[in-house]
Amino acid sequence: MTRETRLDPADFILPLFVRHGENQRVDISSMPGHAQLTADLLADEVEEIVSLGIPAVILFGIPQQKDAAGSDAYDDDGVVQRAVRAIKSTGTDLLVITDVCFCEFTDHGHCGILHETEQGMDVDNDATLQILSQQAVSHARAGADVIAPSGMMDGMVAALRTGLDAAGFTHLPILSYAAKYSSGFYGPFREAAESAPSFGDRRTYQMDPANAAEALREVALDVDEGADMLMVKPALSYLDVISRVKTAYPEIPLAAYNVSGEFAMIKAAAANGWLDESRVALEVLTSIKRAGADMILTYFAKDACRWLAAAK
């Protein structure tokens, strides 16, 4: 009766990895229960997701060809664009969010185009904004419902808003990964999305885990540029950041990403008999919501719906 925080299937967004090819399901070893799926296998997956009451998915693509500019990312026939069309053709009202970033599409694994700097090769922020905008418009043409830029480029939300508006997608909301940390918790995702950087790391564009006030500055910039929804990522080690962002912007829907490493460590401990998986996973998800998240991107989404239903 006095419980303040209640989880509900409607809180969850399930990440899906979509790969090129046909009739293939490639298991992701560090993320038990998750696999890269080809577009033709998505209809069954969508049916299950909808039947559990999950309102939305976010898509990550693994293209056949990677190149320096990540060109599959903005190809109207690219792996994500095909997956969006496949999901939309099921006729369900499942919301399709697309991750807008280049790391899964570039052969070097960085989140944009590179250029030479005094410190060596690094992402060329402004050149990347251009192709990010093309990628977002291409996702929109395929039928995406929400555009979620995750690359932490400066000016990314404004560039996408301008690009989408110019292409006639004035209504399409932007969910910005506004405060995204340079985190070791992304390890399993990089196996899943085959997107580990081939050299260096992402510290020149992602945030220092030691900083929280900076997160509020990053969020303020994205809000000014027109972000419709915000995200903090990862979630579990950044509950204070979630709380501060929600307090500063109570009126803006806030998502938190319970990332791959947060999932994998519970799975591994549970497999060893060291933790009670459902109990700990629901505790973590409840904590993320208690901290202030309105939506949670989580690899536990399907299991959590089942656990919640069983507890009723």
Which active-site residues does the annotation give?
Answer: 180, 233
String of contacts with ligand PBG for each residue 1-30, x by CB under 6 A: ------------------------------
**Neighbouring residues of 6: CB distance < 8 A, sequence distance ≥ 6:** none
Upper half-sphere CA count for residue 79 (Cβ side, 13 Å): 28
Upper half-sphere CA count for residue 230 (Cβ side, 13 Å): 33
Q: How far is the CB of 186 from ligand PBG (least distance, A)?
A: 4
Phi, psi at residue 259, to the nearest 5°? -80, 175
Strand partners, 189: none
Q: Is the peptide bond before 234 cis (omega within 30 degrees of 0)?
A: yes
Q: How far is the CB of 297 from ligand PBG (least distance, A)?
A: 8
Distance CA 264, CA 234 (A): 13
Q: Does 238 bind ligand PBG (CB under 6 A)?
A: no
Tell me how far CA of residue 30 lies from CA of 60, 196, 197, in angstroms.
Answer: 17, 14, 18
Q: How many CB atoms lie within 10 A of CB 151?
A: 24
* Residue among 12, 189, 205, 249 that touches ligand PBG (CB under 6 A): 189
Q: How far is the CB of 310 from ligand PBG (least distance, A)?
A: 26
- SS3 of residue 306 by DSSP: helix
Which two structure tokens, joined as six digits, stand for 24? Answer: 């293939």
Q: How far is the CB of 251 from ligand PBG (least distance, A)?
A: 26
Q: How far is the CB of 236 from ligand PBG (least distance, A)?
A: 12
Residue nearest to ligand PBG (CB): 189
Closest CA to 288 of 246, 226, 228: 246
Options 20-28, 75-83, 184-192, 218-226: segment touching ligand PBG (CB under 6 A) = 184-192
Options 73-81, 84-92, 182-190, 240-248: segment touching ligand PBG (CB under 6 A) = 182-190
Residues 88-107 that bind ligand PBG (CB under 6 A): 99, 101, 103
Residues 248-287 that bind ligand PBG (CB under 6 A): 259-260
- SS3 of residue 97 by DSSP: strand
Q: How far is the CB of 218 from ligand PBG (least distance, A)?
A: 15
Which two structure tokens, joined as six digits, stand for 2? Answer: 């006095």
Q: Which is nearer to ligand PBG, 142 or 156 (CB)?
A: 156
* Residue among 12, 181, 186, 249 that touches ligand PBG (CB under 6 A): 186
Q: Which is nearer to ligand PBG, 141 or 190 (CB)?
A: 190
Distance CA 68, CA 20 (A): 18
Residues found near ligand PBG in the complex (CB under 6 A): 99, 101, 103, 150, 186, 189-190, 202, 259-260
